[in-house]
Chain A
C-alpha cells in the first residue's frame, strides 16, 4: 500500500485508477448478467414457452397478443419460424418505425432468443421452417447454375453482384454482402416485405444452395481489375472518367502550358537573393 501511496500524485495515477474502476465494473457486469450463452440447454417445450414470453413482451404490441395481427402489423399465423428468424436475425424486427420498409440493423436479441420466438410462432400456425446447417452448406454446390438462377430471379432487384438496387416508392432491395447463408435461405423461402416468395417447389432446396454459393463466392471474390467502383456498373465508370481522367489531364495540361518564369525574372530574383545574403552577412558581420 505504501508503494501505491507514494505514487498517488503522479499523473499516471489518475489513469490507473480509472482503468481499475472500469475493469471492476466490467467484471461485475459480466458476472451479474450471464446471457444465454451460458444458459443450460432447454427442451423444445421450454423454448416455445420462453419464446411466448419474449413474443408477448416485445412483438405483441404490433402483432397482437396471439399474433393475430393489428392495424399496424400483419398476423403471424402461418408465417413460420423461417420468417421470424430472417426478420429478427437481420435486426429488421422489432421495427423502429412504420415506413417504406425495414432496414437491416443490429439485433437486440441473442441467437437463442430468436430461435425461441421462432419456435413459438411456428407452434401457433406452422409455416416454413428454419433450414438445417446441411441445407445451407455450399459444399459441392453448382455456382454456374446458381449464377443462372440468380440472374433470372434475383439480379433485377439486388444487382448482378448483389450490390443492391432501388425499388418503387422509396423501397430498395438491400445489398447481399452481410447476409448469412441461413438468412439468404430464409429470405428466399419467406419473401420478406416486397421480396417475392421462392418456395421450395419453385426453387428447390438444392437450387437454393446453388444460389447461396453463388452469392457468397461473388461477394468474397477479389476484383482483379482494381477497385470495384461499387459494382454498380457504368454509372460510376462515367463519373471516374470525368473527375479522374479528364480532371487529371486538365490539370496536367495547365502545367504543361503555364507561362514560364522568364530568364530575366529568374536573374532578377537571384540578384535580389544575392543582395539580401550580402546584406545579412554585412550586418551580422558588424554585430559580432
Chain B
C-alpha cells in the first residue's frame, strides 16, 4: 500500500502528496527572520517552527542535483551565445533583394534569434527551478483603506484649504473663471474643423457624365458592344479620364455584365420622382451596375454566371443582376445603382449621365 495519494486540487492534480503526518513546513528564508516590516508581528512565517521527527535535509545534502542543473543552465546559455553570434553572421553574410534570398535570410535570422531566446528562457527557467531554493514568504494584507483619523485629517485640511481659497465664498470669481475656461475647452475641438471639408453634396455625385467612355480596368481600353458579346461576360470598368484617380474610382467603379437575349429584365423603378432603373439604360443586353456595395462600400465583385447573382465578398450581400441588382440576401439595404448606358458615334459604350442616385453606403442625408 502506498503512502502517496493523488490529490485533485482546484487547478488539476497536484504532485503526489504525503498522507502520513502533517506536511513538513517550508524552510526558513535566507538570513532574514521576519516576514514584513508592516508593523505587525511576523505571524505568517519565519517564526518558530517545530522541526519534524527526522532531520530536514540541508541544501548541501544533494549537491549532485544542483551541479547537474548548473551544467544544463550553462549549456543553455552557451547555445544562446552561439546562436546570437550566428544571427550576426547571418545578418552580415546573407543578402536580401529577391524572394528566394529573403527566404534564406529570414529563416537563418529567425531561427538563430529563436534559439537565443529559447536558450536564455530555458536557462533562466531551470536556474529558478533547480538552483534557487524554494523559499516562501508570508505577508500581511492590510486593508488599503486609510485609518479613520487620517481620513478626517485629510478632510479637515482640504476643507480648510478650500475655505482659504474662498473659491466657494466668492461666486462671482468662481463663475467668471468657469466662463473664461469654456471657450478654452472648446478650442481643441474647434481647431479640428480643418481636418476635412464638409461633405455638402459630394457624396451624391460621381465623375460619370453624359458621353464619358467606359474603359476596361487595367488595359484602359474602351469597349464596344461587339467586343463584349459573349453572354455571361463580366468585366470591371473605370471612367475615361479618371483611371488613376483613386478618389473618383472609389465611387465610379462599374461592373459590366452581358446577358443572353431575354434573360435581362430590369424593371423600371423610381425613387420618389427620380428614375433609378430601366431597360432603356441597357445596350444589347449589356447592363452596368455600380461596383460599390450599398452596405459599407466594398467592391461587390463576385459574379456567378449561372445564377446571375452578384455577391459581395465582404459580408455576402447578394444582388440579382438580371432584375436590376435587387437584394436577395445579406445586409445590403438597397439594390446597386444602375449606370445609364448608351453608345457613342464610334460605337463605344458610354454613360448617358451620372448615376441618378448616390452610390455606395447609406448615409444620413441620403434621403
Contacts and interface: CB of A to CB of B under 8 A. Distances in A.
> Do any CB atoms of chain A lie under 8 A from CB atoms of chain B in the complex?
yes
Given A167-B302, A168-B318, A203-B216, A153 B228 contact: no
Contacts of B103: 222-224
B15 interface: yes
A263 B59 contact: yes
Majority SS at the chain A contact face: loop
B61 A149 contact: no
B62 interface: yes
A258 B125 CA distance: 11
A194 B57 contact: no
A44 B14 CA distance: 82
A278 interface: no
Given A152-B217, A156-B313, A198 B233 contact: yes
B306 interface: yes
Given A201-B227, A263-B62, A167 B129 contact: no
A148 B218 contact: yes
Contacts of A141: none
Nearest to B299: A156
Contacts of B230: 191, 197, 199, 201-202
A197 B309 contact: no
A266 interface: yes
B318 A264 contact: no
B135 to A, nearest CB: 11
Given A207-B219, A255-B125, A267-B61, A168 B106 contact: no
Interface residues of A, number: 45
B231 interface: yes
Contact of A202 (B54, B128, B235, B311): B235
Chain B binding surface, main DSSP class:
mixed
A165 B313 CA distance: 10
Given A156-B299, A221-B99, A222-B100, A201 B226 contact: yes
The residue in B59, B100, B224, B232 that gathers the most chain A C-beta atoms within 10 A of its C-beta is B232
Contacts of A287: none
Contacts of A202: 216, 223, 227-228, 230, 233, 235
Interface in A243-268: 252, 255-256, 258-264, 266-267
Contact of A167 (B15, B219, B235, B304): B304
Contacts, number: 132
A223 to B, nearest CB: 7
B304 A171 contact: yes
B233 A224 contact: no
A149 B305 contact: no
A93 to B, nearest CB: 16
Contacts of A145: 218-219
B275 interface: no
13 contacts: A167-B304, A168-B318, A191-B230, A191-B232, A196-B233, A196-B257, A201-B223, A203-B216, A207-B218, A255-B125, A260-B129, A263-B27, A263-B134
The 6 closest A-B pairs by CB, nearest first: A201-B227, A156-B301, A196-B234, A199-B230, A224-B103, A224-B102
Given A167-B311, A201-B224, 20 more contacts: A152-B301, A153-B234, A156-B299, A156-B302, A168-B307, A168-B309, A168-B311, A171-B304, A194-B305, A194-B307, A196-B305, A197-B232, A199-B229, A199-B233, A202-B233, A204-B221, A255-B125, A262-B134, A263-B27, A267-B61
Interface of B: 14-15, 24, 27, 54, 56-57, 59, 61-62, 65, 99-100, 102-103, 106-107, 110, 121, 125, 128-129, 134, 216-219, 221, 223-224, 226-236, 257-258, 299, 301-307, 309, 311, 313, 318, 329
